[in-house]
Structure 1
Amino acid sequence: MELRKKVDYFLGRALAIIMGVMVVNVLWQVFTRFVVGTPSSFTDELARYLMIWVGVLGAAYISGRRMHVAIDLLPARLNKEGQIKLKIAINWIIMVFCFFAFVVGGLRLVYITFALGQYSPALQIPLGVVYSIIPISGILIIFYKLSDILNKQL
């Protein structure tokens, strides 16, 4: 549980920092466009990439906090033991999905973009760096779901 608390703390702070950078970035974009008259060239692209990171990393954070949207129609009809078994099965399905879609698929995407040498147009950073959040988020979701099962926090 101590590791989970540290991961929660780090992830929450990282998301807050990313959101703060995104707010400053968008404010700078508005300032340069309407006050200076010449919009900054990198702010639109940076805001887009930061939004991707907040969305994907935020999904992992919310999954770990068990605050994600859930339909509880079926669990409400089951007894306590059935609810636990269903939640374990759902967590395993989530872990399998995250492994193949986020980790395996994300690593393939990162590898391909690095292999092809793709860079972002304005920031000139490798797109593999931008997409690397996908497998990281998948690993975090798997960690949280496995932690839920092992600690019986269902």
Structure 2
Amino acid sequence: MENKLMIALHGGLACLNRYLARLLLFASGSLVLVMTGVVAAGVFWRYVLNDSLAWTEEVARYLMIWLACVGSVVALHRRDLVAIDILPDALTGSAGRALRVLIATICLLISGFLVYYGFLLALNAWGQLAASFKMPMFFVTIAVPFAGLGFALISVEHILGELTRSHETVTAEGEGEE
């Protein structure tokens, strides 16, 4: 019963994470397009019209922060982040699974740190305004706990995946011995 619940939780979380990853991939592309447009507008106004827009550099910087946070969640979901896989790939069986669970648990702890302290940072930044267009900096800094939440969801999925995979392997091995 317990194993079926873990398998169901893993399946549901994997489905949710796939949907969120697709949505965030679309958001990343949109952020790149908007950032490109903002930078192009800044260049056009500065060099063609000889009248620079004060807000373009600041907006591009804030879009880049959001792009890095959103894009890193997509990269973690796709397992495209830079990693040293020599040891996890070299270990087989339960030792390899245990190491992958440990790595995902460390990622989950770091995610909790990002969510908690990132949210405190965002709340603290509510009273601060962007220099050129007076937007609360909360909307920029909230990207950090947003990314942390995405990392946490993916880390829990990885942990559940390794735990259910190890149980399935043990069950399959046990069935063959009978």
Distance 1:2 1:79 in 2: 27
1:20 to 11, 20, 33: 33
1:113 to 125, 129, 132: 125
Counterpart of 1:134, as a letter, is: V
Q: Which runs of 5+ in 2 are unaligned?
A: 1-13, 166-178
Identity of aligned residues (%): 29
Task: Report Cα offsets for 1:68-115 as digits up to 9, x if no partner.
Answer: 111123224422321111011000001101101x1011011011112x
Partner SS, residue 76 of structure 2: helix
Q: Which runs of 5+ in 1 are unaligned?
A: none
Distance 2:150 2:131 in 1: 29
Q: TM-score, normalised by structure 2?
A: 0.80
Q: Which structure shows the higher helix fraction? A: 2
Counterpart of 1:96, as a letter, is: L
The count of residues paired between Structure 1 and Structure 2 equals: 151
Bigger radius of gyration, 1 or 2?
Answer: 2
CA contact (8 A) 2:21 2:73 kept: no
CA contact (8 A) 2:111 2:151 kept: yes
Matches within 5 A, 1:57-96: 57-96=70-109
Pairwise CA distance, 1:151: 3.0
Pairwise CA distance, 1:148: 1.8
Structure 1 pair 75/2, CA: closer, same or farther in 2 (3 Å)? closer
Matches within 5 A, 1:5-154: 5-100=18-113, 102-114=114-126, 117-152=127-162
What is the alpha-carbon root mean square deviation over aligned residues? 1.5
Q: TM-score, normalised by structure 1?
A: 0.92
Distance 1:75 1:3 in 2: 26
4+ runs deviating over 6 angstroms: none
Distance 1:22 1:52 in 2: 11
Q: Which moved more, 1:124-133 or 1:55-64?
A: 55-64
Distance 1:77 1:144 in 2: 23
